[in-house]
Amino acid sequence: MLDDLKLIHERDPEDALGVVEKQWQQLGHEFGVDASKFSGIDNVVLAGMGGSAWPAVYLNTWAQPSVPFEIVRDYTLPAYVGKNTLFISSSYSGNTEETLSALTEAENRGAQVAVIAAGGKLEEVAKAKQHVLYTIPGGIQPRMSSFFFLVAMAELLEPLGLIPKGKLAELRSVGGWLKEQITSWGPTTPTDKNAAKQLALELIGKSVVVYSGPKIFPAANKFKICLNENAKNVAWVNQYPEFNHNEFIGWSSHPTEKPYAVVEIRSNLEHERVQKRFTVSEKLLSGKRPAPLIIEPQGETHLQQLLWTSNFCDFVSVYVALLNGIDPTPVGLVEKLKVELDK
C-alpha cells in the first residue's frame, strides 16, 4: 500500500509527506529581527503548547543556555518571572489561550517580551505593544513548522549571549546534510529499501511506546506528538534512566500479551551507563514486553542526531496515518475542543 503513489495522494490530499520532505529548508530561514533592546537577562521563560513548545526542548537540550531556561505549558507563570526575565510567547496560530494568558501575566510583571507566531491575536498584540516579533511562515501545521521555531529561538538568544556563539551557524549548516539523509525515506522509495515505511508497518494497529536517553528525548517526544496528531494513534514516551526506576517494573506483570509496539531510540552519544541500560533492560524484559524496534540515530553531532531522528520519525508517523486510512494533516478534534471551551 505504501508504494501505491495514487493511493498515497488520495489519503494525503494536503501533501503532509511533501512538507516533511522539505523541513530541512526551514533551517535556512532568516528572520532578520533586531532584539538588541533586551538587557540584564537573568532567566528565560518560554510559554507555549504542543508543536509551539517542543522546539524549546530541543534548544534547551542541545544549545544549553547560559541562564536558567524554563518551558511553561500552562496559563500561569513561575513566581520568579520579572523585569530580568526574557519571556518568549510562542504560538503558531497566535490564538492559544494558555499562551495568551501567560503573556498578559508576563506583561503585568514587567518581563521583557519576545513573540514567535504565524498570526492571530498574539501577532496583533505584539504589533500593538511593539514587542519583538518573529513571524513564522504560515500554511502548514505547527508540528511541521518546528524547525522555523528553533531557528527563531536561536536568532533571538545567540546575539544576547544566552546560548554559545556559533550555535545558529551550526543549526543552519545541518540543513544540507539533512537533505541528503532523507532521500531514501520518501514515497517514491519502495518499502524494501525504505526504513521509514518498514517501521510504520511494524507499528500499525498498536499503541506505541517510545523510549530514548536524555540527549535524544526531544526527538522521541516529537515522535510521540506526531503519532498522536498525524496518525491519530495513541502513543506514550519516556526516557532512560528514569524508566528503570518505575515504568520498567510495569512491564513485568500481566497481561502476558500486550497490544503495544516498543520503539527505542538508541544514540551512541548517550552516557555509557544509559547505553548499557537499554541492553540490560531488553534482556531482563525478554518475553514480558514486545521486543523493541530500534532506531539508531545517524550523525556525528548531537544536533545532527536530534534532527535526523525528528525528520525520520515524522516520515514514519505520516506513513502510519496512511496505513490507518487517515488524512495526516487535520486535527479536527482539537478545533472542536476549542469551540466547546468557548461555550
CA distance 255 to 128: 57
Question: Active-site residue 123, yes or no?
Answer: no
Beta-sheet pairing, 85-91 with 43-47: parallel
Q: Count the Cβ atoms, other than its own, within 10 Å of residue 337.
A: 11
Close Cβ partners of 55 (under 8 Å, ≥ 6 residues apart): 146, 147, 149, 150, 153
Report which of 221, 223, 206, 245 is spatially closest to residue 317, judged by C-alpha positions: 223
- CA end-to-end distance (rounded Å), the chain: 42
* Catalytic position from the list 21, 155, 229, 264: 229
d(C-alpha 199, C-alpha 203), whole Å:
7
Handedness of CA 296, 300, 306, 308 (dihedral sign): negative
C-alpha 203: how far from its chain's center? 20
C-alpha grid cell, residue 229: 496528531
Upstream peptide bond of 241 is cis (omega within 30 degrees of 0): yes
Distance CA 284, CA 198 (A): 27
Are 301 and 308 in contact by the 8 Å Cβ rule? The answer is no
Annotated catalytic residue: which of 6, 245, 283, 343?
A: 245
Query: Does 229 qualify as catalytic in the annotation?
Result: yes
Q: Among this protein's residues, is 180 annotated catalytic? A: no
Catalytic center residues: 229, 245, 338
